[in-house]
Structure 1
Amino acid sequence: MIWKRAVTLEALNAMGEGNMVGLLDIRFEHISDDEIAASMPVDERTHQPFGLLHGGASVVLAETLGSVAGYLCTEGEQKVVGLEVNANHLRSVYSGRVLGVCRALHTGGRHQVWQIDIYDQHSRLCCSSRLTTAVG
């Protein structure tokens, strides 16, 4: 197990209240020994003007997953902040919910690198993102 903090899905979802995570209805769905997953709706909150999932919304989901995963890999008063995020948008999504799955590529003492893949309701890869965080 890579997580150093004990957590439940209920606690993760409560963290989203009163911020962008809650506003976009991002819901943590799954946590295992080495990955974490959350879903997000594809609707008027996350659409771009042409009626499909906004790339920025995909990045919000990716950064949410990577930042929370990074926090779970720290201890005590340590904090995690994003340094760099990128996203390759591979497939358009018009409705439903997307699922982001986050896995660690590197969990060092000063930096972390997270791979976040976002899938549509048919399990097709829609976005591949990578987040680098600093641990302080």
Structure 2
Amino acid sequence: MTPEQLTELCARGFDGVVGLRYLEVSGDEVRAEWTVTPQLHQPAGIMHGGVLCSVVESVASIGGSAWFGARGHVVGTNNNTDFLRATRSGTLTAHGHPIHRGRTQQLWQVDMTDENGRLVAQGKVRLANVENTAHLGQ
């Protein structure tokens, strides 16, 4: 799938609420961006930290899925995101890359920067590689 097709597909879900746009997608690297709007703010007028956690989860999962391919699906089992700089507006970019890829799990890191290249947040997501997905959600 092209980044544009992936953006359109994911826009039907939570990524669409955030406005996440995929720029580059492979099993080795994912880049995406979104615009911080007041709809993504928490009461203090800065972007809600949950948006950053969600972007980390989305970017890592897309990359992990691209790498795992037709063998099955990946599901997040842990998400740890550090918030480093508050953001009120502008466009943020997420860059994800794998730290570890194994038979049963993957670990991805996602760095999020502002328009000036400053690190806004950094997260890591552990993904489980699931070959038989029929039992998930049961």
Per the alignment, residue 21 of structure 1 pairs with 15
Aligned mates of 2:16, 2:120 — CA distance in 1:
22
Q: Deviations over 1:80-115 (max 9, x none)?
A: 000000011011111011111001001112100000
- Does the Cα contact within 8 Å between 2:81 and 2:123 map onto a contact in 1? yes
Give the deviation of 1:45 after TM superposition. 2.3
**Following superposition of structure 1 onto structure 2, how do residues 27-106 of structure 1 map, counting pairs within 5 Å?**
27-31=21-25, 34-106=28-100
Letter of the structure 1 residue corresponding to residue 96 of structure 2: C
Q: Which has the higher helix share?
A: 2
Report if aligned partners of 2:26, 2:66 keep a CA contact under 8 Å in 1.
no
SS at match of 2:60: helix
- Bigger mean CA offset, 30-39 vs 98-107: 30-39
The answer to whether the 8 A contact 1:40-1:61 is kept is no
CA distance in 1, matches of 2:60, 2:71: 18
Runs of 4 or more off by more than 3 Å in structure 1? none
Cα drift, residue 127 of structure 1: 0.2
CA distance in 1 between partners of 2:27 and 2:106 (Å): 17
Gaps in structure 2 of 5+ consecutive residues: 131-138
Identical residues among aligned pairs (%): 29
- Mean Cα deviation higher: 13-22 or 62-71: 13-22
Unaligned residue ranges in structure 1 (runs of 5+): 1-6
- Cα distance in 1 for residues equivalent to 2:25 and 2:58: 14
Note the aligned Cα RMSD (angstroms): 1.4
Who is 1:3 aligned against?
none
- Flag the 1:66–1:32 CA change in 2: closer, same or farther, 3 A: closer
TM-score, length-normalised on structure 1?
A: 0.90
Give the whole-Å Cα distance in 2 for the aligned partners of 1:74 and 1:32. Answer: 11
Equivalent pair of 2:22/2:32 in contact (CA under 8 Å) = yes
